[in-house]
Structure 1
């Protein structure tokens, strides 16, 4: 098993009064960062753990974060559903994601606010994923209410490799990764292609996913420069969520579809540059993004003749950058490390549209908009090292967003702007070299869809409607501790609390989210990692959450909230060459309506992997959904209508099943 090293104690004290640095060796791939984390709920995930985690979809990378659950209610080309800290994040709202300095969450998106599609990421090109649950760092901005994750592209691939995977249901995947030295520089290239038909009875997913990365890296005594070009293109068909009654009545099977013409296409092309030296960090990026998505969640409820299929489009250019400056000084015996920065982002959305369709043929326009949305941010954060044991961090962040909407209905056109000042504070105390305690408090926010901030008339009913605030504030706090034994045991626990000024809830027949009441959540998170030997490790993680709307009513449940998320795993290096991994994931009963009368069944799935690695080649076998569970990936409760049903439709549970047991075989050539 690989050994990772990090610095315990006051890493920031490298040049100050408390330069007493102790080195600790961590067995495994997940590091706890004793004393360095701003929270008990933060950490770093390395390529080793990514490589050895059995995954049905590469977009399940975020599930490496303790307490995060990732599911899917549609086709393989669509952003996943995410759950963390009692949030049904839908496709990404309230959890911020970033890769190589570029934001992944999409504002005012055609399918959902904060839309987070990870299909463009090639897992083999990721060096680390650093995560922070909660929002206690001044660098965390929009969508970071429940936390954030940062994907870091590799500068030093462990191997040059050719990778081939085949599996059931015509699963095919090929990856090539290599690098070329150019003096003090390096050129890294990677490509990925994936095809997949899926296990569905009425459709073939016909996934055709293509990814490419070209990265230039230069390291010198003056600083480090990286320039990255990324390309992604995908087409697919979708087996969307289905009503329980259609299965019970024998109309379709649990792997069937009521509308076999769903699916879509998406692309993402980007160019980014990053520069870093001892004091200065800067980045700039430009992203060209498109989505063309066909869905049908209510079947014949709104249009008994043509059906309720709709098309959502999003065509935009995202550009921006950030610059920060780090410096230190001393106040008496207190070492101060400052981090001050500014950020800029512009979403120039040429078209974000919603259309009525039948079998992917255009029928009518519900609404069509052009949106220009620009955000500006500035922050200052100071870390105060008061002793080798005690460290505090205080920060302030200011965000301003300005949006302009040009709608096909002039009543819904207009301008909106909003700003927010947020404060952060954290305290870390090292009781000894093995135990650290944390106390954190922070304010954060998510932005709302700009169209909701300018709307005056409902595009369907033509009734007058209220606008929403462009920015929605949150307050959160955490008490935590982490215990670390040098060779055997790593344990962390956190009690947390979070309030949000306005909840975003999923609307079934519209396929998007709308603003709702304020909410409060609190919970307990536990993580434990035990190394029985250098070759055998166990891990277990559990998150327990209580979630409610802040209203004086029995109907105060938050739809989609998850009370329990748990996972466990065993990693065993049987010999130098043989390795096995067994993973269990559990998602508790999700709340499906606001009075708590409807809940989903829990989801439990087990995945396994076994691999053999020689010097220049590696073979692996993945067994996904080992026990062939028929649990549901996702559940919603809302009204829909089948052709023979009453005009008002039927309230029912709508679900997407997890995929049946499947086997995949992998061969890698390593150079």
Structure 2
């Protein structure tokens, strides 16, 4: 009965939308650069109204519900001359326009992030970008799910509530949880230097509908990011400025509910404008396994004000609170039993936790002139994190970790665009100082009841970083990039564990210089070749880094990369990249969160990544990606490990999707994801064979076939009810075989998105 009422409501909503559309008009268009390529994320406004839109990945946009009359349509994008077009809107009709934008050689006025002067067309490394319109259409509840759109990336979901999941990228399988990837949101680092895990980064606190874009850097290729960028970097940007009101409501299996809202609204303050952005999320689920309830809430607010024509100031606030139960992992014999795969292991306890997070960031931007812009920033983080967890299948063994963490960071960077003779140079240089304090306490527990106080530690970690990078546009055939980054670390560890004498240790004098070099060449219109060599590093893990009697050096990572990109208007886009990635010494965790590590020694990763997007017909989109990665331990003190594969790295990752919308505005999306086999045993004694997964989505576009006004949708995950594990690893204790994090069987969700 309730379901019938929901369908009746949605049907009425669709009918009302159709009636209103007849009384007004709309405009559809395509944004093209002077080079003939489509342009995404271009801001289009109907002057004199509150109507506007951003172009999607195919350069297209739709603005609906425009009152009858004559208007000026204005398009703008950073680094391009603005363009305007006069239009006449008639009742029930669609105005179709095509707008060409011309690139400006000199413009830095709107840059608000570090590296803003660096141009996309000069990138020498593999960087994938996922934009707002794509994110909206995916109906996401967690920002990490965006990574399914990036070639060569696989999410290894632990499915432990609010615990940060891992993802595999460039042959590293611990990104996100074990510190193998740098993750930033609006320039605020999510990586914890001495928190739940060295480099632990929780993306639960990002609101998907509020993401403007995410740039995914592969490997240690960028000077903008430091020691966590072994596998690469995720640089999230939230929405800035604009006039919009977006709503997303979604509910489904396992009593899951997700509500997200985002809006932007400028206000006149005297003769100046105050730009405001706000977003919120509330998410709850009972989970698909026993003891897996999860509740979280997110808030994000941004205020920007132009103090003068050349200076603006921005305040960005984020808050998150989450509480969850965690089912733990299960042994193989239970995983393959359909009646028991959704239950906890026999001796499991009441695992779970809670987390509170707040960050504040202030940016001051000043333009000295149209070619030189300074960004000065400072941010702070306050966080407390409590987790109850068990890492075995025997009786007992649950522990509680309670961590309080405070971060203070400041920095400045200078963006510039200049000429050296006839050569255009785009460059950035910067300084950053990071200071983190953490108090770590631990107990032996039983079903969340404290028994024995076991750990009492206080950390202080500081880092100073300097970086610079320049792009030299010598000719279209040769555009080299040179960069360098220097990092130095200091800190201390105070040990006050029960039953042991108090001890204070100092961090080893650890520093590293990371060079980056490469070039890009446009061989003909739409076809580019790129190649680069980049160096990165990671600090020694755990308490060993505080042993001043041992001379420990950072582990070095060298990446060698080459590839081609080809784009033909909005119909065809191809990206093929090959890479070799060598590490001087690597430490690997044997099982997630176990705290048990082994020395992998010198390792090598070799691979190919292919991304393809085709739009053969209007409203028909085909996308695919394929990645092949081979890992090998090259040199190790344990010679029996040489030649073995690195743990938990799939040999192949394949993703295919088909998206088609009828003229009636009804549409469907099918996606297939295939994950190849990977080693789970240190000596490769065990392998998980991988899985193939199919998802489907059916939707109705409010406002018309090409409209981005919103959708009514039904999503079906795991269409063929596949029994698979989103993560598998060597078993705990001495039970032998593998342990599994089971993934949900077939499940459904229904929802609506609405964009004003």
Q: Which residue of 2 aligns with 1:539?
A: 623
Residue of 291, 295, 319 corresponding to 2:389 = 295
8 Å Cα contact 1:34/1:482 also seen in 2: no
Structure 2 CA distance for aligned equivalents of residues 309 and 564 of structure 1 = 36
Q: Which residue of 1 aligns with 2:614?
A: 530
Cα deviation digits, residues 153-192 of structure 1 (max 9, x gap): 1014673134322111111122232233212222222221
Q: Which residue of 2 aligns with 1:453?
A: 545
Structure 1 CA distance for aligned equivalents of residues 453 and 540 of structure 2 = 23
Q: Which residue of 1 aligns with 2:317?
A: 229
Structure 2 CA distance for aligned equivalents of residues 84 and 617 of structure 1 = 32
What is the SS of the residue equivalent to 2:663? coil
Q: Which residue of 1 aligns with 2:298?
A: 211
Q: Which residue of 1 aligns with 2:89?
A: none
Q: Which residue of 1 aligns with 2:264?
A: 179
Structure 1 CA distance for aligned equivalents of residues 155 and 28 of structure 2 = 27
Are residues 669 and 134 of structure 1, via their aligned partners in 2, closer, same or farther at CA, if it must alter by over 3 Å? closer
Are residues 138 and 332 of structure 1, via their aligned partners in 2, closer, same or farther at CA, if it must alter by over 3 Å? same
418-427 vs 242-251, which moves further: 242-251
Is 1:488 paired with 2:571?
A: yes
Structure 1 CA distance for aligned equivalents of residues 754 and 185 of structure 2 = 27
Structure 1 CA distance for aligned equivalents of residues 489 and 58 of structure 2 = 36
Deviation at 1:267, TM superposition (A): 1.5
8 Å Cα contact 1:583/1:607 also seen in 2: yes
Deviation at 1:4, TM superposition (A): 7.6
8 Å Cα contact 1:38/1:137 also seen in 2: no
Deviation at 1:123, TM superposition (A): 0.5
Residue of 524, 534, 537 corresponding to 1:432 = 524
Structure 2 CA distance for aligned equivalents of residues 474 and 5 of structure 1 = 40
8 Å Cα contact 1:337/1:383 also seen in 2: yes
What is the SS of the residue equivalent to 1:175? strand
266-275 vs 333-342, which moves further: 333-342
Q: State how 1:87-166 maps to structure 2 within 5 Å.
A: 87-89=172-174, 91-110=177-196, 112-156=197-241, 159-166=244-251
Is 1:479 paired with 2:492?
A: no
8 Å Cα contact 1:63/1:69 also seen in 2: yes
Q: Which residue of 2 aligns with 1:367?
A: 455
Q: Which residue of 1 aligns with 2:446?
A: 358
What is the SS of the residue equivalent to 1:180? strand
Structure 1 CA distance for aligned equivalents of residues 334 and 551 of structure 2 = 37
Is 1:86 paired with 2:177?
A: no
Residue of 495, 499, 504 corresponding to 1:413 = 504
Q: Which residue of 2 aligns with 1:376?
A: 464
Cα deviation digits, residues 385-415 of structure 1 (max 9, x gap): 1113310011111100112101124576301
Are residues 469 and 294 of structure 1, via their aligned partners in 2, closer, same or farther at CA, if it must alter by over 3 Å? farther
Q: Which residue of 2 aligns with 1:631?
A: 724
Structure 1 CA distance for aligned equivalents of residues 332 and 672 of structure 2 = 26
Q: State how 1:514-663 maps to structure 2 within 5 Å.
A: 514=597, 516=599, 517-551=601-635, 553-555=639-641, 556-575=644-663, 577-615=665-703, 618-640=711-733, 649-663=734-748
8 Å Cα contact 1:113/1:513 also seen in 2: no
What is the SS of the residue equivalent to 1:320? strand
Is 1:315 paired with 2:407?
A: no
Structure 1 CA distance for aligned equivalents of residues 746 and 342 of structure 2 = 14
Residue of 376, 382, 392 corresponding to 1:282 = 376
Q: Which residue of 2 aligns with 1:499?
A: 582
Structure 2 CA distance for aligned equivalents of residues 607 and 157 of structure 1 = 33
Structure 2 CA distance for aligned equivalents of residues 283 and 62 of structure 1 = 28
TM-score when scaled to structure 2?
Answer: 0.78
159-168 vs 208-217, which moves further: 159-168
Structure 2 CA distance for aligned equivalents of residues 361 and 447 of structure 1 = 35
Q: Which residue of 1 aligns with 2:360?
A: 271
Q: Which residue of 1 aligns with 2:81?
A: none
Structure 2 CA distance for aligned equivalents of residues 242 and 228 of structure 1 = 41
Structure 2 CA distance for aligned equivalents of residues 3 and 68 of structure 1 = 33
Q: Which runs of 5+ in 1 are unaligned?
A: 8-20, 457-465, 641-648
Structure 1 CA distance for aligned equivalents of residues 551 and 576 of structure 2 = 36
Q: Which residue of 1 aligns with 2:5?
A: none
Deviation at 1:374, TM superposition (A): 0.6
489-498 vs 129-138, which moves further: 129-138
Is 1:348 paired with 2:437?
A: yes
What is the SS of the residue equivalent to 2:146? helix
| Higher RCO (Cα < 8 Å, 6 or more apart) | 1
Are residues 399 and 6 of structure 1, via their aligned partners in 2, closer, same or farther at CA, if it must alter by over 3 Å? farther
Cα deviation digits, residues 67-115 of structure 1 (max 9, x gap): 11113223221101211121112515221111101001111222x2211
Structure 2 CA distance for aligned equivalents of residues 509 and 47 of structure 1 = 32
Q: Which residue of 2 aligns with 1:239?
A: 327
Cα deviation digits, residues 218-253 of structure 1 (max 9, x gap): 357414433111110000101221111345689943
What is the SS of the residue equivalent to 2:204? coil
Structure 2 CA distance for aligned equivalents of residues 162 and 338 of structure 1 = 39
Structure 1 CA distance for aligned equivalents of residues 748 and 39 of structure 2 = 33
Q: State how 1:20-59 maps to structure 2 within 5 Å.
A: 22-25=35-38, 29-30=56-57, 36-39=121-124, 41-53=126-138, 55=140, 57-59=142-144
Q: Which runs of 5+ in 2 are unaligned?
A: 1-26, 41-54, 60-117, 704-708
Compare CA radii of gyration and give the structure with the larger one: 2
Are residues 394 and 248 of structure 1, via their aligned partners in 2, closer, same or farther at CA, if it must alter by over 3 Å? closer
Q: Which residue of 1 aligns with 2:21?
A: none
Q: Please, what is the CA RMSD of the aligned residues?
A: 2.8
Deviation at 1:468, TM superposition (A): 8.4
Deviation at 1:573, TM superposition (A): 2.5
Cα deviation digits, residues 427-455 of structure 1 (max 9, x gap): 10110112100110011112344533126
402-411 vs 369-378, which moves further: 402-411
What is the SS of the residue equivalent to 1:169? helix
Structure 2 CA distance for aligned equivalents of residues 665 and 419 of structure 1 = 51
Structure 1 CA distance for aligned equivalents of residues 393 and 28 of structure 2 = 52
